[in-house]
Chain A
Amino acid sequence: MFWQVTLNLLEGFGVTCLIFAATLVCALPLGLILAFGSMSKFKPLKAVVKVFVWIIRGTPLMLQILVIYYGPALLFGWGFLDRVVAVIVAFVINYACYFSEIYRGGIESISKGQYEAGQVLGMTKSQIFFKVVLLQVVKRIVPPMSNEVITLVKDTSLARIIVVEEILKVAYDYTIRGLIWPLFYTAVYYLIFVGVLTLLFGFIEKKLNYFRV
């Protein structure tokens, strides 16, 4: 029994990990694009991005999942996306917005003097960004990023709202059938996952400890 539950939960955990990984891989770069959009000198673009980020951050992720899954079918009569795909799309959009704000904060926290020092040394804009600013930004955003990424681990459980078989959904199905301990057992998986991430972020922070910004 125990092993059966463990294996079933592991399967659900696989889905959890898939949502997690796909979200990170897509949302990290997308967030950077949004961040540049929100800092753009081109006012309309800036406004559009800011409003978009405001809407996404201002509404529950659960609602966004529902809209992405049911929206196209109900509004336009299109078919349904694959459930897992719909969840991933919603997560990517949502997390890209949160990441973009973290990036923006990081980029804006770099003093003007750093850019100017690069400029008077004849560097191009991209040289200044990649050779001077980027690593300082990375160092600044590691702590808030680590918070956000750990939140993401737990947010994956929202996927069960459209019946995606992630770990908490699998455990919950046991509960409905009268077996309650698998639900508590899921905590072990989450804790191990978050533990590994915490170690990883700690490692990155330590790696970047050789300088101060």
Chain B
Amino acid sequence: MAFLEVKNYRKRFGDTEVLKGISFSLEKGEVLAVIGSSGGGKTTLLRCLNFLEIPDEGTLTLGGEVLFEAGQGKAALARLRKKRLHFGLVFQQFNLFPQYTVYKNILLAQALLAKEAFQRKKKDFAAVLKAAPPSERKKLKGEQRKILSEIRANQKQRMEERTERLLVRVGLSEKRDAYPYQLSGGQQQRVAIARALALSPDILCFDEPTSALDPELTGEVLRVIKGLKSSDSTMIVVTHEMEFAKSVADHVIFIADGVIEEEGTPEEVFGSPRSEKTRAFLRSSEQNRLGGEDA
């Protein structure tokens, strides 16, 4: 069984069915490129993977564990928050938090999770203390306090080191104290990538990470994403940059009207597409690219 298995994902909004049974699988460490003309359902697919939308039908298995199975009712949906952490998502529009510095943007989610873990630990300790005989409580309390402060210090150090490392990885160490509005689009998107990486998701998704950028800024973002490939991360990239898809992807799927019209290795999909729709799409995107260069 593959690392990620998506089976028969379906999603409708009102009367329109946007995903009409999408199935694919992905091995750990692989990069999947998703291409297709706009309105085909690519964003909806990513949103379903991240549980921003709940599929009407289908199952999702990750590392052998069933993360999602349609029709399990409200209780299962309530538990989705933790399951979201298996996935990261980089948005087309960055969606950085404007009131925080670059550093804090990357740190925030880690800090909140660490705090939750810390509070749980504290509660456990309090319960232990209550159960202990009164004569030993004072000593125990002192010990607990020491352990807790160590845990906190450890957490802090780990988060800070991690954040610094991520800043280096996206090449923005010198911008750590800048606010989002002070950055170019390309820099903002790199921060968003670091922010998504901060929680070490099993699978990182990108929704057209460069289409909100000026053409001269796409290169730096694509380079960062390519750089991630060398490590062991598994990625799903929705993109209009065909050259990028060719060079970075292990697998490509072409989505049209809510179904996977074609899939295979980059060589197969770009080199010898079987479906007429794929050929038409590739022709028109090639024309757009050339047209864009002329202009």
B93 and A113 within 8 A (CB): yes
Q: Beta-carbon contacts of B86-124 to A below 8 Å, as 1s and 0s?
A: 011101010111111000000011001100000000000
Q: Are A120 and B98 in contact, CB atoms less than 8 angstroms apart?
A: no
Q: Are B98 and A211 in contact (CB under 8 A)?
A: yes
B195 at the interface (CB under 8 A from A): yes
Whether A57 is near chain B, meaning CB under 8 Å from some CB there, is no
Determine whether B213 belongs to the interface, using a CB cutoff of 8 Å to chain A.
no
Bound: A213/B81 CA distance, A: 27
| Contact indicator B81/A135 (Cβ below 8 Å) | no
Q: Which residues of A contact B89 (CB under 8 A)?
A: 116, 120
Q: Provided the pairs A113-B93, A121-B195, A123-B109 are in contact, do residues A135 and B99 lie with their beta carbons within 8 angstroms?
A: yes
B95 x A113 contact (CB < 8 A): yes
Q: Are B181 and A212 in contact (CB under 8 A)?
A: yes
Q: What DSSP secondary structure best describes chain A's contact surface? A: helix
B109: nearest residue on chain A (CB-CB)?
A: A121
User: A127 vs B97: C-alpha distance in the bound complex, in angstroms?
Assistant: 13
Interface flag for A210 (CB, 8 Å): yes
Q: Answer whether A213 and B84 are a contact pair too, CB < 8 Å, given A113-B93, A120-B89, A121-B195.
A: no
**Which residues of the other chain, A, contact B95 by a CB distance below 8 angstroms?**
111, 113-114, 116-117
Q: Say yes or no for A58: interface residue by CB 8 A criterion.
A: no
Interfacial chain A residues near B85, Cβ < 8 Å:
122
Residues of A within 8 A of B199 (CB): 121-122
- Complex Cα–Cα for A120 and B85 (A): 7
- Specify which chain A residues have a CB less than 8 angstroms from the CB of B99 in the assembled complex: 135-136, 139, 211, 213
Instruction: Verify A120–B87 contact, CB threshold 8 A.
Output: yes
Say if the beta carbon of B44 comes within 8 Å of chain A: no
> A-B contact count, CB below 8 Å?
61
A116 contact from B52, B98, B113, Cβ within 8 A? B52
Closest Cβ of chain B: how far from A173's Cβ, in Å? 50
Residues of chain B lying within 8 A (CB to CB) of residue A4: none
Minimal beta-carbon separation of B97 from chain A (angstroms)? 6
A59 CB within 8 Å of chain B? no
Cβ of A122 and Cβ of B109 under 8 Å apart? yes
Contact yes or no, B98 A131, CB < 8 A: no
Name the CB-closest residue of B to A132.
B97
Question: CA A114 – CA B181 in complex, angstroms?
Answer: 15
20 further contact pairs, Cβ within 8 A, besides A113-B91, A127-B112:
A113-B93, A114-B97, A116-B89, A117-B91, A117-B95, A117-B96, A119-B81, A120-B52, A121-B195, A121-B196, A121-B199, A122-B81, A122-B84, A123-B109, A131-B112, A135-B99, A211-B98, A211-B100, A212-B98, A213-B99
Chain B residues packing against A (C-beta within 8 Å): 50, 52, 81-82, 84-85, 87-89, 91, 93, 95-100, 108-109, 112-113, 179-181, 195-196, 199
List 26 A-B pairs, Cβ < 8 Å.
Answer: A111-B95, A114-B97, A116-B52, A116-B89, A116-B95, A119-B50, A119-B52, A119-B81, A119-B84, A121-B108, A121-B109, A121-B199, A122-B81, A122-B84, A122-B85, A122-B112, A122-B113, A127-B112, A132-B97, A136-B98, A211-B99, A211-B100, A211-B181, A212-B98, A212-B181, A213-B99
